[in-house]
Structure 1
């Protein structure tokens, strides 16, 4: 695997931003006695957009989990962008992080690196705020994402806003009443998906039973069941902590519908 730590000027954000990328090397087998073959296979790799939580940044998955080692075993590229405290949204008072994450970043990554643009090779996952962002990516763009996973996700962000738990997201949404039944409402997006006759991404939801977001995750699990939306749900001991996320990102990678034999040549 190669680790690429990249900064570039985003047109959507109107500023410099950073992204970490774990990239499979695709190296052919080498004859170590002669070292004759140092070529690389020309393949386009499946990709996981892996999103950080609130108060974290693009470095946290690398620093606090073993995602690089896990991704190497699967032969999948992992893209870890920075999104500040944006809830992966176009902020009312701030930057257009939804436009950046959902449009500009994938286009840039596919143009700059050997990353597949096929739906069946494209996935999203994240923790906490990033779990919300991952589901939002897949639910708003089911034609582009084959699967999404949320770990300890803030999936009922609307419910939290209604209860007055605005705090960190005041600058993101402004009036909380405008979030309900909007493109930023995971429950609204899930209902719309259930009524659609189009493509439907696979969804994976996991949360620790000691996590402060546990009840919100159970609520979403039950809502998806009511709508007959396909959802893989797992729970177990754990809080809102990296030990839980490091363990369960491995479960996510095992669950993803990867077929490395079909990557583009």
Structure 2
């Protein structure tokens, strides 16, 4: 595998930004690593970080490079600050960057497939929300998406913005969403799922996972019920674990095994 610290200018963000990119490399002499068959274009997982993290976190806290090598898949890990994957009311357009500009840039610079069947997203906490939003708002582009301990209920967070336990306070949410604190319909996972469920267009496969000791468990359970009602393709997993990296390291391995990767 090769690891790239990718620095580039984003038109959407109007700034130079960074992403970590892991690319498969066909080798015969690399000790301790699995090498897959060389391909002209590789399937790609867009792997998203949580609220307090950045694009470096998955390589620092897990063995994602080794796991990706075993599946012969590329991984793109962007940085979106504390944007909650939104086009911010008083800040950069991180949703446009993530959903449109970043895939196009990566497919231009790297040997990544642009086929829907080869394009996936996953993330933890805030990134779990971002990954599901990608799949449900862009079902024509993403074949499968996964949420690990996802902070899925944006509307609830905006209703409870003044409560002591809020991770994002009113001032910060105002900068993200706007002073009315009402998220647009294309930010609401429940509404997006209903739209996909009523559409004849392809539906992304969805993986939901959360630890039973995680304070966000109820959000995954509630969203699971919603997806089941809509008949959307869902794999659901919950088991012992809290909001921590031991759980996410184990789960990202399951996600990579679950992805519907096509044979080269």
Partner of 1:10: 10
Q: Is the 8 A contact 1:124 1:147 kept in 2?
A: yes
* 1:55 shift after superposition: 1.0
Q: Is the 8 A contact 1:55 1:85 kept in 2?
A: yes
Unpaired runs of 5+ residues, structure 1, are 31-39
Task: Map Cα deviations across residues 67-108 of structure 1 (whole Å, 9 max, x no partner).
Answer: 111000000000000000011110001101011111111011
Whether 1:220 aligns to 2:217 is: no
Partner of 1:248: 251
Distance in 2 of aligned mates of 1:14 and 1:92: 15
**What is the SS of the residue equivalent to 1:178?**
coil
Partner of 2:209: 206
Task: Classify 1:67/1:118 alpha carbon distance in 2 versus 1 (closer, same or farther; 3 Å).
Answer: same
* Number of residue equivalences: 250
Whether 1:72 aligns to 2:59 is: no
* 1:177 shift after superposition: 4.9
Distance in 1 of aligned mates of 2:110 and 2:48: 19
Residues 19-34 of structure 1 aligned to structure 2 (within 5 Å): 19-27=19-27
Distance in 2 of aligned mates of 1:45 and 1:26: 12
Residues 95-110 of structure 1 aligned to structure 2 (within 5 Å): 95-110=92-107
Which of 175, 178, 185 is the equivalent residue of 1:174? Answer: 178
Aligned-CA RMSD value: 1.5
Q: Which has the larger radius of gyration?
A: 1
* 1:176 shift after superposition: 5.5
* 1:226 shift after superposition: 1.6
TM-score using structure 1 length = 0.90
Where does structure 1 differ by over 4 angstroms across 4 or more consecutive aligned residues?
none
**What is the SS of the residue equivalent to 2:21?**
strand
Q: Is the 8 A contact 1:162 1:176 kept in 2?
A: no
* 1:234 shift after superposition: 0.3
